Amino acid sequence: MFKFQPSTVVVGVDVHKYSHTAVALDPWGQEKGRLDFSNDNLSEHASWLNTLGEQKDILVALEDVNSYGVHLVADLTTRGFAVRYVPAILTERERRQSTKRHKSDYVDAKRVGKVILTKFEETLPAKESIAEKAELIIAQTLDLLLMERRDLVKEKTALKNQLHALLHQYYGDHYADDFPKPFHKRAIAFYLSDLEQITASSAVDIGKKMLADSIVRRLKRLLLHEEQITVITKKLTDIGKQSLEVQALSEKLHGCGAVTACAIMAEVTTVKRFVRKDKFAMYAGVAPTERSSGIHNRLHTNPFGNRRLNRALHTVALSQIACKGDKRGKEYYWKKLKEGKTKLWAMRCLKRQLANQVFQILKQARI
């Protein structure tokens, strides 16, 4: 855990694709220096950092540690510097609360540093600087595969929606009556066989032929998407077997399948980033925010946090309250409903309990 001292130097960095701007601040927010650099001269940035003080007293803060900042974070971690991740919402709040709402690379970098000085407890250590190398490689691989899988599922859903409309135009209301599902393998095989005969015929109306041709192309794309999703899911499962945390979540958390467990670990990387379960719940966006004044005290939904992690917890929660779900999850959910909570708020309460379970499972997985 990084500790602030009078000799501490916080360096805020505004990261871009081709250039970065760094601003150094002392513990009182006074500027100590600034530097413009790029990924081609990261060694110059490291040399500049060493002129600011001892390495143990320097804390580098970035908004972007995964995309354009990945090379900078890797270099800083290799050199042993402490790196902190600052959520973009915090710097945006800093800008709104400022009397001067200027926006430039220099000002943004300075705001990143000031967030560290004023809201340190709301930030997290960059996973690259705290996770073991094996954990980091697995998390990055899972994140890459899950990103591709999400895109494919989204495109697959769009294709199905389009095909529902087009098949209805071609076959009428009962196009799916003879099949278990509209896009069952047997249904797709029938559509392709029937429609390809139409597209090959010269006696069919041009409008009908064009419609049939359009449906055939979409069906073939749908099959390709399903094949690629299957391949990626298998790769996720195989890689997940190399992670103790993924295995522990799949085995000990009811309703958490291999893909969901991979999704959780892709966002968490290592539970060492979180000091307490409350911190983990806040990161997942399942800890309610408190708004109180005098005798009035209300809890509100937290719209922030990591939404992908939140969605993974939501998937587990839905599975637990299903007909064949987890007995304890269902009992807790119905208990909240009997207390007068709405279904949505009862689900939020369950997700908070699940976040606590996930935190505990991940802590024990490495023991």
pLDDT tens for the 367 residues of the chain, in order: 677 888 999 999 999 988 999 999 999 999 999 999 999 999 999 999 999 999 999 999 998 767 788 889 889 999 999 999 988 888 888 888 777 777 888 999 999 999 999 988 888 888 877 888 888 899 999 999 999 999 999 999 999 999 999 999 999 999 999 899 999 999 999 999 999 988 887 777 888 899 999 999 999 999 999 999 999 999 999 999 999 999 999 999 999 999 999 999 999 999 998 989 999 999 999 988 777 777 777 777 777 889 999 999 999 999 999 988 899 999 999 999 999 999 999 999 999 999 999 999 999 987 6
* CATH no. for 9-130: 3.30.420.10
Residues of the chain with CATH 3.30.420.10: 9-130
pTM value is 0.84
CA neighbor of 34 nearest in space, from 56, 51, 57, 54: 51
The residues pairing with 60 across neighbouring beta strands, listed in sequence order, are 11, 83
- What's the rounded Cα separation, in Å, for the pair 166 and 145? 31
| The pLDDT value given to residue 65 | 67
Q: Which residues contact 257 (CB under 8 A, 6 or more apart)?
A: 250
| The pLDDT value given to residue 124 | 84
Rounded to the nearest angstrom, the gap between the alpha carbon of residue 62 and the centroid of all alpha carbons in its chain is 17
Residue 267 near residue 140, CB atoms below 8 Å: no
Tokens of 11: 């360096």
- What's the rounded Cα separation, in Å, for the pair 54 and 44? 17
Angle between helices 244-252 and 258-268 (to 10 degrees): 130
CA neighbor of 279 nearest in space, from 359, 357, 353, 348: 359
Q: Which residues contact 326 (CB under 8 A, 6 or more apart)?
A: 254, 255, 319, 320
